[in-house]
Amino acid sequence: MYEILAKYYDDLMDDFDYDAYEKFALENLKDVWGGFGYDLASGSGEMAIRLKRNGFKVVGGDVSPEMLEKATEKARKARLDVPFVFSDLNDLHLEKKCDFVTAVCDGFNYVKGKNLAAAFNEIYSALNDGGIFIFDVSSANKLENVLGNNLFYEDDENLTYLWQNTKKGEKIKMDLTFFERDGDVYRRFDESESQYIHKTKDVESALTAAGFSYRFFNEKFKKFTERCNRLIVVAKK
């Protein structure tokens, strides 16, 4: 799972502003500074590593063994002790009480609609009183109107990929084809995944039912509207 994507994940994410997201997260985690928490859907471990550098105790979780291996190696090279463990947002179980939970860059778009409330409930139960939950989803507008049924591609010296989206009900099926350079030839790899559309009202309903108070922001960390591409949530127990 994500064999080739894990290898090139950070390169493909080079337009994601981790510096700005880190600053935003730290501002909203100031009341639990230095506490223990989970970074879920951790991917290559970038946010977990940044939190660790800022004095937090953090465990990263992801569903992909390849991503976990990538994140573990990344933390090792940074000489930071960040454990990375298997964690599935569609069947979430957090073993320890915590002060914060983060899940950045679309992790909850991989959660089926029927599982969203259960994940929020598990996080609420794991958080200590006053605990903070920061996460985001690609908005319904982005998934329906920007990604939709469209084809995207990127081509550089060592990797070419095609990204075909197909809207099927409340999810977007993403078929990814990679051509990786290997000397004088290119090797083809195919991967597929699905992202689920979570309408704002459904996110609100699940957060409220779990017991959270919350604030919404857009991808620029300003006021969210339905026309924005990303819904960022800061929730508090």
- 13 lies in the same domain as 111: yes
pLDDT at 1: 55
18, 127: one domain: yes
Report residue 73's pLDDT band, with 50, 70 and 90 as the boundaries: very high
**Domain co-membership, 77 together with 177:** no
Residues 142 and 72: their CA atoms lie apart, in Å, by 31
Percent of the chain's residues with pLDDT above 90:
90
Same domain, 168 and 221: no
Mean pLDDT along residues 202-212: 98
pLDDT value, residue 122: 99
How confident is the model over 83-105, as pLDDT tens digits?
999 999 999 999 999 999 999 99
Three-state SS string over 70-102 comes to: HHHHHHHHCCCCCCEEECCHHHCCCCCCEEEEE
Q: 183-200 pLDDT, tens per residue?
A: 999 999 999 999 999 999
Give the mean pLDDT of 118-125: 99
Supply the pLDDT for residue 101.
99
Model confidence pLDDT, tens digit, residues 148-173: 999 999 998 888 999 999 999 999 99
SS3 content of the chain, % helix, strand, coil (to 5): 35, 35, 30
Residues 82 and 165 in one domain: no
Q: What is the mean pLDDT of residues 54-72?
A: 97
Q: Which CATH number do you get for residue 118?
A: 3.40.50.150
Q: Kindly indicate the confidence band of residue 54, based on its pLDDT and cuts at 50, 70 and 90.
A: very high
Of 70, 77, 75, residue with least CA distance to 9:
70
**pLDDT value at 26 more than 90:** yes
Q: Domain span at residue 35?
A: 3-138+199-236
CATH code of 175's domain: 2.20.25.110
> Mean pLDDT across the chain, nearest whole number?
96
β-pairing, 57-62 with 84-86?
parallel
* Same domain? 77 vs 163: no
Task: Mark whether 76 and 180 lie in a shared domain.
Answer: no
Structure confidence by residue, pLDDT tens digits, 100-117: 999 999 999 999 999 999
Residues 159 and 51 in one domain: no
- Confidence band (pLDDT; 50, 70, 90) for 9? confident
Q: Same domain, yes or no, for 85 and 167?
A: no
Residue 88 to residue 111: CA distance in whole angstroms: 9
- The pair phi, psi for residue 16, each rounded to 5°, is -85, 125
Residue 78 contacts by C-beta under 8 Å, 6 or more apart in sequence? 49, 53
16 and 124 co-located in one domain: yes
When divided into structural domains, the chain yields a total of 2
User: How far apart are alpha carbons 174 and 162 in whole angstroms?
Assistant: 10
Output the pLDDT for position 205: 98
Are 17 and 65 members of one domain? Answer: yes
DSSP strand pairing (127-138 vs 98-103): parallel
pTM of the prediction?
A: 0.95
Residue 57 shares a structural domain with residue 126: yes
